[in-house]
Structure 1
Amino acid sequence: MTYDPISRTFLDFFRERGHETVPDCSLIPPPGDPVLFTTSGMHPLTPYLEGRPHPLGRRLVNVQRCLRTTDLDEVGDSTHLTLFRMLGSWSLGDYDLPQSLRWGYVLLRDGFGIDHDRLHVTVFGGDDQVGPDEASQRIWEEIGLPVELTGEENWWSNGPTGPCGPDTELFVWTGDGPPRGTPGTDDRWMELWNHVGMRYHRHPDGRLTPLRQSNVDTGMGFERLEMVLRGHRSVFEGDGLVPWVRGVGDVWGLRDEPLRLVGDHLRSSVAVVGDGVCPSNTGRGYVLRRLLRRALTTLWRDDPSRSLSDLPTGPVRHTLDGFGQRVTVDEVRQVFSGEERRFRELLRRGRPVVSRRRSRGPLTDEDYRDLHDTHGLPRDLVDGLLSEAR
């Protein structure tokens, strides 16, 4: 299944059940939103989850581009990406979470052909404010899937405050042979689809109060689903990543984790630039700067002469076209080359500064703060220079 059939199967399933399609929107949230990037399909729908009527109705579905930096240290393995597509469905005060779970199971089993025996679910087991999600547990027991009760792992929110609630996570077995263990004991169980009973609002003091309406919010990573359906070992074998894996591997000779990290970060950077962001020291620009500099740090680890100017046109064009972005390849190259020049200059100036500071002994938190505030050297860059000197 390629991108179109996978997304079409998902969208058609929910459209047949009365859902209207919400268009994919930019990675940049609307003005006034404190979050830097759209991190989930539900993010643009927050006002409607809180009770505002949506112009398209109470049942919605879409495929939304998302960017998350919370898992940067895990990017480079077989399942984590910074930029990804999220397949999402919503009930805005309409049907309940058990109905969503029933539909989700039917879609995975009949729509996508995923074997019942490859699935495992986890359910919120309760805490000191909210009891266990017994309704969801009963559904899964009726269906016959193994159920594991957990704590905060099955409580979903998009930040420290705002809409939140208990969730069910559907895991799929990605290993050879029959499934073994549980998602908590064997990492070959991969999280695939999250169904959230979005019915609470968390306040700054930690209190929970009911939302004006009880909602359902689901999100499934397209690239992970593609990996499962095609029998791949990695999300980097999917249509959106293959051009980057080939391009980065061919031009710089990278393999394995460095190849995946550089490919992911450059692809993510292209999409961020395509949505209008330029590198800077704050906000969204700093996220872009960090992505590019992490990629360059990896590239230069074995060969400081490597340059983003050698990046093939094909992967850049593929990503811009895939997200319908009107920025040109040349404009992306200008942003990348400018940031590379600045980073090379910062490293040139930073090496002797860090070396002198290190000669006095191990760096303290105060040293790191001063290097950042006085010399513009962030902690991860300082650590990179220190490891470089060993």
Structure 2
Amino acid sequence: MDINQIRQLYLDHFTEHGHQIIDRAPLVLNDDATTLFTGSGMQPLLPYLLGADHPAGDRLVDVQPCLRSQDIEEVGDNRHTTFFEMLGNWSLGGYFKDEQIRFAWDFLVNKVGLDPARMYVSVYSGDQSLEISPDDESAQVWHELFSAAGVSTDRIDLVTEERGNAEGSGGARICGYRDKNWWSRGGGPETMPVGDPGGPDTEIFYYFPQVEHDKSYGEHPHPNSDGGQYLEIGNSVFMQFQRTENGLSPLPRRNVDFGGGLERIAAAAIDSPDVYRVGTLAPIVSRIEELSGRAYDDDTEAMRVIADHVRGAVFLIADGVRPSGKEHGYVLRRLLRRAIRFAHAIECFDGTLESVADAAIDAYAAAYPTLDAARTEILGVLAKEERQFRRTLGKGLRELRRLGKESRPLSGADLFTLYERFGFPVELAAEEANRLGVDLLAGWRADFDTAMERQRQMSRASSTLGT
């Protein structure tokens, strides 16, 4: 099933169950200073999860583009992206665990067609020290659904990811975790920010037997491992608590917040552990293959980085972000320069960003017509940024290699020189140093930040003198 079909199928499925479709939020939330970008579907809905009435009612559904810049260095494997689409449905004080789990099952198994024998789930194992009980209610609903489908329902409480890595799950269908199955914006129940909602969650994973478990993530596989065999495709959060100065307090009403990774569900639907094979990313990768004259299977990491970063940049520019040295603009510039760096490595030269972005807009235009409407502007921004960075990229790389031959660890001052003279983002310089096997001095980041602050002070002083 194609990813565009799944997107529409999801909206149809939940409108059939009385949900109202709400508009997507922009990637930059001007009224939320806690984060640079919209990183989940629940962010714009936080006031309603805390008790306010939503104008569209108490059953909502949407597809929300998200961007998580903190994942930028994870991009390159088969599952991580900075930009992604999140399927979301909410109940604001209405249905709860039983109905939500059945809604999710019906969509994934009966609508998308996923094999229930390859689905595994996790539930909250409880915390005795905080007097929070295990989520036996969710486990029982999963038991009923799997049993009706003729699938075994063994259960194990691993409690921690570390224990799972050391012992494995033994193929258990339902796994209990403590920290992994409590959702809040600040971690477990004891570290939630005061005022924030949270609660236990139940996650859904799809199993890929064709993938060899990566033991660098632990000796044994289990659903909540990053070893590669299990891919998380959805998470139902049962928000029933709010953190106060005195601990956890029940919310005025219990809420459901479901988030499903559209690309990951689409990958499961085509039995691929690689999200870059799905219908929106595959055409972008194909364009990179054409530009480079190379095959995806031979330069996988580079093509994944370019495809993800340019796609994310397209959506950011459409939502009004422009490359700069500050906040949102800095992240956009970092995405673009990182994409150019990887393009340079596979011999994709001038015009790469425009061409790849053109393919990205084509892939998403049907679902997001504003991208097509802004195509000329988007491509113009990318062309200008690429021209500027290409001028100094080669010089910066040569300087970094020269410094690397001096048989000494590089300092923060060295990286600041690369930034100041060649516009080389510090994160990109650090990545490239690691790629070249060049050591960095301990504390290099603090030294770089000190040099940056000194430059800002000099700039402010110069500006004051000139007024």
Q: Structure 1-normalised TM-score?
A: 0.87
Query: Once the two structures are superposed, what CA deviation does each residue of 1:339-367 show, in whole Å capped at 9, x if it has no partner?
Result: 22332455467568755698483134576
Q: 1:206 to 1:272 in 2, by over 3 A?
A: farther
Matches of 1:4 and 1:302 in 2, distance apart?
A: 30
Q: Amino acid of the residue matched to residue 376 of structure 2?
A: D
Contact 1:43 1:158 in 2 (8 A): no
Alignment partner of 1:218: what SS?
A: strand
Contact 1:27 1:66 in 2 (8 A): yes
Q: Which residue of 1 aligns with 2:450?
A: none
Pick which of 46-55 and 67-76 moved more.
67-76
Alignment partner of 1:325: what SS?
A: helix
Matches of 1:375 and 1:344 in 2, distance apart?
A: 10
Q: Which residue of 2 aligns with 1:57?
A: 57
- Note if 1:105 corresponds to 2:111: no
Q: Which residue of 2 aligns with 1:166?
A: 200
Q: Amino acid of the residue matched to residue 135 of structure 1?
A: E
- Select the residue among 362, 377, 386 that pairs with 1:340: 386
1:97 is displaced (CA, Å) by 2.1
Q: Which residue of 1 aligns with 2:139?
A: 137
- Note if 1:244 corresponds to 2:284: yes
Q: 1:257 to 1:280 in 2, by over 3 A?
A: same
Q: 1:350 to 1:5 in 2, by over 3 A?
A: closer
Pick which of 223-232 and 38-47 moved more.
223-232
Query: Once the two structures are superposed, what CA deviation does each residue of 1:313-342 show, in whole Å capped at 9, x if it has no partner?
Result: 741431562422255333222211222233
Q: 1:63 to 1:360 in 2, by over 3 A?
A: same
1:234 is displaced (CA, Å) by 2.4
Alignment partner of 2:65: what SS?
A: strand
Matches of 2:32 and 2:345 in 1, distance apart?
A: 40
Matches of 2:87 and 2:32 in 1, distance apart?
A: 25
Contact 1:97 1:136 in 2 (8 A): yes
Contact 1:243 1:314 in 2 (8 A): no
Q: Which residue of 2 aligns with 1:70?
A: 70
Contact 2:314 2:357 in 1 (8 A): no
Q: 1:376 to 1:309 in 2, by over 3 A?
A: closer
Matches of 1:284 and 1:235 in 2, distance apart?
A: 26
Q: 1:116 to 1:197 in 2, by over 3 A?
A: same
RMSD: 3.2
Q: 1:51 to 1:356 in 2, by over 3 A?
A: same
- Select the residue among 183, 199, 205 that pairs with 2:240: 199
Matches of 1:86 and 1:313 in 2, distance apart?
A: 21
Q: How many residues align?
A: 388
1:137 is displaced (CA, Å) by 2.1
- Note if 1:225 corresponds to 2:265: yes
Q: 1:309 to 1:112 in 2, by over 3 A?
A: closer
Structure 1: runs of 5 or more not aligned? none
Matches of 1:38 and 1:173 in 2, distance apart?
A: 29
Contact 1:20 1:60 in 2 (8 A): yes
Q: Which residue of 1 aligns with 2:177?
A: 150
Alignment partner of 2:202: what SS?
A: strand
Matches of 2:261 and 2:69 in 1, distance apart?
A: 15
Structure 2: runs of 5 or more not aligned? 147-152, 154-172, 187-191, 212-219, 439-467
Alignment partner of 1:311: what SS?
A: helix
Contact 1:49 1:215 in 2 (8 A): yes
Q: Percent identity?
A: 34
Q: Structure 2-normalised TM-score?
A: 0.74
Q: 1:5 to 1:376 in 2, by over 3 A?
A: closer
Q: Which residue of 2 aligns with 1:182?
A: 222
